């Protein structure tokens, strides 16, 4: 019997499911059991061509609609996503292994937020009038054209919407390629957009590995590329896009600092560290994985952290009581276990966890290392798993310098009850998405993205509009033209 997660076909192009079994088969594995639940096929050159040509064609009429009309469709899609939240959350859990407890509140719901927010903005995208004496200049905010979205595997529904919603609101079309690891959810986003009234071809989804992404990025018809992925992939995709002088948004990895001063509320700080390291089993780009704790409260902090981490419920992700799921793949599990071994070898102290969980599926125990120093591998490299490194510090000046001593710059957080210090410290941290007495909130209203190697451009908020549109300026002369000859 076919598993309920199996999609009707691998790709969604020009308003319908399309199959081409000549492509490389991609097995979809449920991370909680290791069982294969579905198969899709990587896009062949013919599929890539269909996706790009139909999206290119559909964009012209879409851009001619009023923003209000486009917005209405996006808002209808948001309503449909909310009505189907349960079904979509179950699919997200099959795709990623994340527990239903999370997916019910964080995935289709945040995708719907993006569709609703950008749907609401679509009708208000205007230019300006610039008086020049008798003459004037006016500006027009125009769509870029055909955009490509390429997703990572940790938030397949959310990423498909965070890229699609602002792109479509501005009058662009999109071809979206999910990660080969999580190919299922974006197909549902495409289906729902069509059902909400989006013209066929305006949002196509095709499957594949890096080479399909590469074919999309280098196609001369593509005007913009928005990638969520790792820094090495980001560098490749950015370079390929640059060769075609395309616009880019790069949402890449991080090794973000979370700084806890000795006057902080310990339970809130522990809660922030848990949210910033163990949500989605640590597979979150903005995680605060370098937790700097001021020396005076270190042992108290670690004791409370170990106690609360012990309350994590590892188990069947479909059981709503489960609060901690598996790694997305066996490969990702092995990468993370390798980092845990490295942490032990390099002399960090295991406070809790530190091994694979003794159960089927790709589960790793939530792991806390203390006595971590800046030069250890676990403090320098992005692990993308449930591994928290706790480092000690003494002074504000010292911790700011150490927090910034990284190639990454995605996020940063500070816990303190001294608000002057909170703002002073955040002001000096080199990061794009910051938190005071909180961690990892990502509402659609707030810009999201990184500095340094963590990325270029911003998603969400009005900032995203700037990255999915361009401004045309028109000078209007009322009098005669003066010329030298
Ligand atoms: P990867 O960088 O491996 O892949 C990202 C996407 O790019 C995948 O769809 C991948 O396809 C595709 N891809 C790979 N090579 C190329 C290429 N040469 N040209 C075009 N596309 C290509 O990241 P992961 O999927 O492993 O995701 C984890 C990473 O994503 C982490 O580093 C994490 O920090 C980052 N991330 C960043 C976020 C942010 O917003 N800043 C949010 C979430 C994750 P395929 O996998 O099918 O080969």
Q: Give me ligand 1 centre to Cα 179, in Å.
A: 7
Tally DSSP H helices, then E strands, for the chain.
16, 20
Mind giving me the DSSP string for 425-449?
Answer: HHHHS--SEEEES------TTS-B-
Over range 141-163, report the average pLDDT: 98
Answer whether 180 contacts ligand 1 (Cβ < 6 A).
yes
User: Which ligand 1 atom sits closest to the C-alpha of 240?
Assistant: 19
In angstroms, the CA 17 to CA 457 distance is 32
Q: Give me ligand 1 centre to Cα 480, in Å.
A: 55
Answer whether 219 contacts ligand 1 (Cβ < 6 A).
no
Over range 228-240, report the average pLDDT: 97
Residue nearest to atom 34 of ligand 1 (CA): 253
Residue nearest to atom 22 of ligand 1 (CA): 210
Answer whether 317 contacts ligand 1 (Cβ < 6 A).
no
Answer whether 205 contacts ligand 1 (Cβ < 6 A).
no
Q: Give me ligand 1 centre to Cα 152, in Å.
A: 4
Residue nearest to atom 17 of ligand 1 (CA): 210
Q: Give me ligand 1 centre to Cα 210, in Å.
A: 9
pLDDT category of residue 60 using cuts at 50, 70 and 90: very high
Whether the predicted pLDDT of 38 surpasses 90: yes
Model pLDDT, residue 170: 98
Whether the predicted pLDDT of 108 surpasses 90: yes
The beta strand positions in 79-195, using DSSP E, are 129-132, 135-143, 146-150, 173-177
Whether the predicted pLDDT of 1 surpasses 90: no
Whether the predicted pLDDT of 341 surpasses 90: yes
- Just list the catalytic residues: 163, 251, 285, 459
User: Which ligand 1 atom sits closest to the C-alpha of 253?
Assistant: 34
Q: Which two tokens stand for residue 443?
A: 């509402």
pLDDT digits (tens, 9 = 90+) for 430-453: 999 999 999 999 999 999 999 999
Answer whether 271 contacts ligand 1 (Cβ < 6 A).
no
Given CA atoms 231, 168, 93, 282 in this order, what sign does their dihedral have? positive
Answer whether 233 contacts ligand 1 (Cβ < 6 A).
yes
Please check whether residue 64 is in contact with residue 233, taking contact to mean a CB–CB distance below 8 angstroms.
Answer: no
Angle, to 10 degrees, between the axis of helix 210-218 and the axis of helix 231-243?
30
Residue nearest to atom 16 of ligand 1 (CA): 210
Answer whether 382 contacts ligand 1 (Cβ < 6 A).
yes
Residue nearest to atom 12 of ligand 1 (CA): 210
Phi-psi region of 303 (alpha: psi -120 to 50; beta: other; left: phi over 0): alpha
Q: What percent of the chain has pLDDT over 90?
A: 100
Over range 307-320, report the average pLDDT: 98
The pTM assigned to this predicted structure is: 0.97
CA distances 429 to 57, 183, 404, 409, Å, are 45, 36, 6, 9
> Within 13 Å, how many C-alpha atoms sit on residue 375's CB side?
2
Over range 270-293, report the average pLDDT: 98
Residue nearest to atom 46 of ligand 1 (CA): 179
CA distances 305 to 50, 98, 369, Å, are 52, 22, 11
Ligand 1 pocket test: pick from 176, 210, 452, 453 the residue with the most ligand atoms within 8 Å of its Cβ: 210
Q: Give me ligand 1 centre to Cα 295, in Å.
A: 37
Q: Give me ligand 1 centre to Cα 35, in Å.
A: 23
Residue nearest to atom 32 of ligand 1 (CA): 230
User: Which ligand 1 atom sits closest to the C-alpha of 332?
Assistant: 26
Answer whether 42 contacts ligand 1 (Cβ < 6 A).
no
In angstroms, the CA 216 to CA 150 distance is 9
pLDDT category of residue 286 using cuts at 50, 70 and 90: very high
Q: Give me ligand 1 centre to Cα 239, in Å.
A: 15
């Amino acid at each position: 019997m076919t598993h309920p997660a199996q999609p009707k076909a691998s790709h969604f192009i020009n308003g319908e499911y399309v199959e081409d079994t000549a492509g490389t088969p991609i097995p979809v594995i449920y991370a909680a059991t290791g069982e294969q639940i579905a198969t899709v096929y990587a896009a062949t050159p013919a599929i890539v061509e269909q996706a790009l040509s139909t999206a290119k064609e559909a964009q012209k009429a879409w851009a001619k609609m009023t923003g209000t009309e486009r917005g209405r469709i996006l808002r209808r899609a948001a309503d449909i996503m909310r009505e189907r939240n349960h079904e979509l959350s179950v699919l997200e859990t099959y795709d990623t292994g994340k527990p239903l407890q999370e997916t019910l509140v964080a995935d289709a719901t945040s995708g719907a937020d993006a569709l609703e927010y950008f749907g609401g903005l679509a009708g208000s995208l205007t230019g300006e009038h610039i008086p020049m004496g008798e003459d004037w200049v006016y500006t027009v905010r125009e769509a870029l054209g055909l955009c490509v979205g390429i997703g990572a595997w940790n938030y397949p529904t959310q990423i498909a919407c965070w890229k699609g919603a602002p792109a479509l609101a501005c009058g662009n079309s999109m071809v979206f390629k999910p990660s080969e690891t999580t190919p299922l959810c974006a197909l549902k986003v495409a289906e729902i957009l069509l059902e909400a009234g989006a013209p066929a071809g305006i949002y196509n989804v095709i499957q594949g590995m890096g080479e399909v992404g590469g074919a999309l990025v280098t196609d001369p018809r593509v005007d913009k590329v928005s990638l969520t992925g790792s820094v090495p992939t980001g560098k490749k995709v950015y370079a390929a896009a640059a060769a075609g002088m395309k616009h880019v948004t790069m949402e890449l990895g991080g090794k973000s600092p979370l700084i806890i001063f000795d006057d902080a509320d310990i339970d809130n700080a522990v809660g922030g560290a848990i949210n910033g390291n163990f949500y989605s089993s640590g597979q979150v780009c903005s995680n605060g994985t370098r937790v700097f704790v001021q020396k005076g409260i270190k042992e108290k902090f670690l004791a409370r952290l170990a106690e609360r981490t012990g309350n994590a419920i590892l188990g069947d992700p479909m059981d709503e009581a489960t609060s901690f799921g598996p790694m997305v793949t066996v490969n990702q599990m092995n990468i993370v276990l390798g980092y845990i071994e490295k942490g032990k070898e390099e002399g960090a102290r295991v406070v809790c966890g530190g091994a694979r969980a003794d159960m089927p599926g790709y589960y790793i125990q939530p792991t806390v290392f203390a006595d971590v120093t800046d030069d250890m591998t676990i403090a320098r490299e992005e692990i993308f798993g449930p591994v928290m490194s706790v480092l000690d510090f003494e002074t504000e000046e010292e911790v700011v310098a150490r927090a910034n001593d990284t190639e990454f710059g995605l996020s940063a957080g500070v816990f303190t009850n001294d608000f002057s210090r909170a703002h002073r410290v955040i002001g000096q941290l080199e990061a794009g998405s910051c938190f005071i007495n909180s961690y990892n909130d990502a509402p659609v209203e707030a810009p999201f993205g990184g500095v340094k190697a963590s990325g270029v451009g911003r998603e969400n908020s009005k900032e995203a509009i700037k990255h999915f549109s361009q401004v045309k300026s028109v000078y209007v002369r009322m009098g005669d033209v003066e010329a030298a000859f």
